[in-house]
Amino acid sequence: MSTPREVIVVSHPMVQHKLTLMRDKNTSTIGFRRLAREISLLMGYEVTRDLPLELVTIETPLETMEAPEISGKKLCLVSILRAGNGILEGMLDLVPAARVGHIGLYRDPHTLSPVEYYIKLPDDVAHRLVIVVDPMLATGHSASAAVTRIKQAGATNIRFVCLLSAPEGLAAFHDEHPDVPVYTAAIDRCLNDHGYICPGLGDAGDRIYGTK
């Protein structure tokens, strides 16, 4: 059981360096997308750091040995569309056998509240460690709504991974879901009046897909 309201800032130099490149407004779409994939593999490394291992018997070309492999519950990655898919790719590079769910939420531009338009989760999500991915934890509303839906599907072991978070969003998210640890590469200063993280990196979806 994790500590309630846990926030893990991944301070690894490679993560911080890549994040700085992503923040830079002069980074191209191709560069941003590649960095999102690379940094999320590194974030995946941290979020899976404490997975339990068990010894299995294998044959190397030379002899029999007891070697460690990941035991227990298998993973399910859940991407919050659409920007979550930019993180999903790198996570799948790390855990290619993971099951994948998708939740489509958009922010109502006036209320900033999440509106669900799509959900598809694996049937056995209740029996898996669920890692929810979205690059930006801004107001925390989308993240909270997504985790609520995943809990309704029966999941009890959930972690949230983002690249940037705002203090307001972290507080709001943990008010709703104190049991869900958040892994983030940085906690930025604040949200602006439009719900964007400052200094931030802009609109993550637009930067990943080149839509603006």
Q: Which residues bind ligand URA (CB under 6 A)?
A: 83, 136, 138, 195-197, 200, 203-205
Q: Is 107 a catalytic residue?
A: yes
Assess whether 206 carries a catalytic annotation.
Answer: yes
Comparing CB distances to ligand URA, the nearer of 31 and 195 is 195
Nearest distance from C-beta of residue 191 to ligand URA, angstroms: 7
Indicate which residue of 57, 64, 111, 193 is catalytic. 111
The nearest distance, CB 184 to ligand URA, in angstroms, is 13
Using the minimum distance from each CB to ligand URA, give the nearer residue, 77 or 139. Answer: 139
Of 181 and 200, nearer to ligand URA (C-beta) is 200
Whether 111 is catalytic is yes
Give dist(CA 198, CA 168) in Å, integer.
12
Beta carbon of residue 196, minimum distance to ligand URA (angstroms, whole number): 4
* Distance separating alpha carbons of residues 76 and 129, to the nearest angstrom: 6
Q: Which long-range contacts (CB under 8 A, 24 or more apart) does 70-73 make?
A: 73/127, 73/128, 73/129, 73/157
| Cα-Cα-Cα-Cα dihedral sign, residues 44, 47, 50, 55 | negative
- C-beta separation of 73 from 131 below 8 A: no
Provide the 8-state DSSP code for 3: P
* CB 85 within 8 Å of CB 35: no
**Two tokens, residue 66:** 């007891």
Phi, psi of 197 (to 5 degrees): -80, 135
In angstroms, give the least distance from the CB of 162 to ligand URA: 10
Could you say which of 5, 23, 107, 149 is catalytic?
107
**Nearer of residues 84 and 122 to ligand URA, judged by Cβ:** 84
Q: Provide the token pair at 212.
A: 């603006």
Query: Which residues are the active-site residues?
Result: 107, 111, 203, 206
